Structure 1
Amino acid sequence: MNDALLYVFTTNGLLFLISIIFWRFPPKKINNIYGYKTPKAMQNKEIWDFANTTFNKSLLFYSGISFLAGLVFATFINTNLTWQPMAFVFMALIVSIIKTEKALSDHFTEEGKRKRN
């Protein structure tokens, strides 16, 4: 295995593996160790479950794209990979957080009550 593929597997591949674990084994209770932890997400159990479900699905999707993009770069681009795989990881995390926070704002009030549609 060449160095570029190893780099992609240890960055993008690791994020994808973690996202599978989070998706498959979501946190059951509000805690400070495991799960999507923001002040709004930790307000109550309903928000906690919603936030973790939303974040885990989003992270799984975007980390998968990140992993595939990293593999494409490592396989087909004839240049040394430096920051590109880490940029894909960063973008996957940022997009997942933004989408989760937007979904929380769309579905819950600041007081932690579900919004009426």
Structure 2
Amino acid sequence: MNQYYYVLSVNGLLFIFSLIFYFFPPKKINSLYGYRTNKSMKNEDVWQFANQFFTKQFIIYAAISLVAAVILAYINPKITWQPMVILLLSLAVSVIKTEQALSQNFDDDGNRK
């Protein structure tokens, strides 16, 4: 498989998902679509904040992930697991930053601090 197809199918798909979340955010709390954690589903205010914050982080880190993976594919044509690790790191950073923002802005019951 061509390394660029691999990068686009892994990291490019992540970037496309981030754009879908940005242009079509979830309207109400649900169990199928959006940033769903116990903390983010406490109430509508937390839900809206978490999804807006996560989407911004997700776009930034998905774009970084895509660019980094393309550069890596250019430098090393025999890439295997590296784009997937970059993808997982970008997702992890987005989730961690969102959870930190939720903890800074809301208490355990979902009330704004």
Alignment match, 2:99: 101
Corresponding residue for 1:68? 67
Stretches of structure 1 that go unaligned for 5 or more consecutive residues are none
Counterpart position of 1:112: 110
Aligned to 1:18: 17
- SS of the equivalent of 1:51 reads helix
What is the TM-score when the length of structure 1 is the normalising length?
Answer: 0.94
Letter in 2 for 1:65: I
Give the alignment's TM-score, normalised by structure 2: 0.97
Q: Using the TM superposition, name which of 24-33 and 77-86 deviates more.
A: 77-86
Measured after TM superposition, the shift of residue 40 of structure 1 is: 0.7
Q: Which amino acid aligns with 1:105?
A: S
Percent identity, please. Answer: 50
1:14, distance to aligned residue in structure 2 (A): 0.2
> Alpha-carbon deviation of 1:24?
1.1
Structure 2 residue aligned with 1:4:
3
Secondary structure of the 1:47 match is helix
Q: What is residue 83 of structure 1 aligned with on the other side?
A: 81
Cα RMSD for the two superposed structures: 0.9
Amino acid at match of 2:50: A
Cα distance, 1:109 vs structure 2 = 0.2
- CA distance, structure 1, for counterparts of residue 95 and residue 51 of structure 2: 11
SS at match of 2:47: helix
Runs of 5+ consecutive residues of structure 2 not aligned to the other structure: none
Query: Alpha-carbon deviations, 1:8-53, whole Å to 9, x = none?
Result: 0000000000000001111000000000000110000000000000
